Amino acid sequence: MEAKLGVIIPCYNHAKYVGAAIESVLGQTRPPDRFLVIDDGSKDDSVAVIEKYRAQGVELIVQENAGAHETINRGIRELSRDCQWISILNSDDVYEPGRFEACLSEISKEPALSVVCTGLRMIDPEGEPLPEGEPRAKWLRAVWSAGGESGEDIAPPEWLGLANFLVTSSNIVARAEYLLANPFRPYRFNHDYFFLAGAALRGGLKAIPDVLLQYRVHPTNNINSAPAPLLREMLRMHVDLYAHFAKELREDEAARHRFYEFAAASWRSVSSFHAGLFQVLLAELASAKSEAEREALVESLTDEAFAELHDYPNKALVNEWDGRTPLQSGEGLNEKYQILREEKRALEGDRRVLRELTTLRRDLLRSKWVGLGQALGQDKRLSADEGKTPEEKLENQKTAIRDSFWLTLGASLGSKSAKALLEVAGRE
């Protein structure tokens, strides 16, 4: 029997947007089995807007203001009574019509998944896509580029360490039992990030690259804040994440390796995580323990329980050193990105040069004056293929044309093709 899917929309003062959010759920190619909207004490006309959709199967709960995290948690508790999967949509965001169909298809292929998300685009208050050069839209495209076209060039833990590329709780389709076991925390900015990082660290998160969600950017978004509150909450979230996973990290080697990827990438975060200040907090936490407690903590990492202690972690860095270039400490995400970008530029440059070389050689073959010269045994260099790289081949071909007595003679006698070839090669 097909698993049931429920949708929860938490709404607070979004009368302007909640209708579009509801309609994007009702317009799905695979409709939900239950659809619940909880109004969290709105002071505008949100409830009146939601009421209009009751006849289309929308359930409504109106409550006193409790905050986004608790409103979502209440919806999860209600929907989990008869739904195996739950999708969350904030009342100012919009689903693409095929979102549920794509997510449930992925779930059916990989039963071990706990959470499925998708690509997204940022839209303005009127629902128009943000221009590509707009800073937030550019940031989103940049962090998604780490996954490549398939979204599989980087593992989810490392990707989420780099940035919360999934952006929002609107991007969550999750197993109901997992949501119940991992309720959203009372953060202002990061309840989605903590939840998503946890799912990735347990190996249960999948990101589908297809753009199936529209994330609305408007003046009342929580993210529109001065840096300090967001940076402090991001640090708090990471401290909480370390504390929350301490037991699992001791007991599960696979979880540890995913955690290593996440933590290493967080040092190169392109989001709001300050790795330096995080070390300050870790120092404070360590100072709260006595010297004997710190020693006992380290000694508790036994050889039997931690396979990582059986080998030196970074010996490959020296073993693979070529003996000539400076020793590198490893390539981080930023370095990998820079290398890939340079490789892409080089390939694009090669393609441009090859196109120019092909055009030049085609013009040589079409030139009746060059054909006559070859029949008379003149300028064999014009048909030579000299050089290793495309750039070398092109420059050698242009040099042969510029130095050609036969082409110079042809141009002086009025050959248009000879004159054109000399001009392309850079000789007036």
State which amino acid sits at residue 42: S
Q: Torsion angle of alpha carbons 377, 379, 383, 388, nearest 10°? A: 140
Alpha-carbon distances of 375 from 11, 371, 379, rounded to whole Å: 82, 6, 10
Write the CB contacts of 57 (distance below 8 Å, at least 6 apart in sequence): 35
CA 127 to the chain's CA centroid: 22
In 3-state terms, what secondary structure has residue 341?
A: helix
Nearest to 208 by CA among 146, 96, 117, 121: 117
Note the pTM of the prediction, 2 decimals: 0.75
Q: Which residues sit opposite 206 in a β-bridge?
A: 116
- Please check whether residue 31 is in contact with residue 83, taking contact to mean a CB–CB distance below 8 angstroms: no
- DSSP per-residue string spanning 13-60: S-TTTHHHHHHHHHT-SS--SEEEEEEES-SSSHHHHHHTTGGGT-EE
Evaluated on CA atoms 95, 96, 101, 103, the torsion sign reads: negative
CA 63 to the chain's CA centroid: 36
Q: Which residues sit opposite 129 in a β-bridge?
A: 123
Q: Is 2 buried (19+), middle (13-18) or exposed (0-12) by CB count in 10 A?
A: exposed
pLDDT tens, the chain, 428 aa long: 678 999 999 999 999 999 999 999 999 999 999 999 999 999 999 999 999 999 999 999 999 999 999 999 999 999 999 999 999 999 999 999 999 999 999 998 888 899 999 999 999 999 999 998 899 999 999 999 998 888 888 999 999 999 999 999 999 999 999 999 999 999 999 999 999 999 999 999 999 999 999 999 987 665 556 789 999 999 999 999 999 999 999 999 999 999 999 999 999 899 899 999 999 999 999 999 999 999 999 999 998 899 888 888 877 666 767 778 776 655 554 555 555 556 666 777 777 888 888 888 888 888 888 888 888 887 788 888 888 788 888 888 888 888 888 888 888 989 888 888 888 888 65
- Please check whether residue 213 is in contact with residue 118, taking contact to mean a CB–CB distance below 8 angstroms: yes
- Please check whether residue 87 is in contact with residue 172, taking contact to mean a CB–CB distance below 8 angstroms: yes
Nearest to 71 by CA among 46, 58, 88, 54: 88
Nearest to 219 by CA among 94, 90, 126: 126
Q: Is 76 buried (19+), middle (13-18) or exposed (0-12) by CB count in 10 A?
A: buried
Write the CB contacts of 401 (distance below 8 Å, at least 6 apart in sequence): 360, 364, 382, 407, 421, 422, 424, 425, 427
CA 340 to the chain's CA centroid: 16
- The dihedrals phi and psi of 88, each to the nearest 5 degrees, come to -110, 135
Q: What is the DSSP letter of 96?
A: -
Q: Which residues sit opposite 115 in a β-bridge?
A: 174, 205
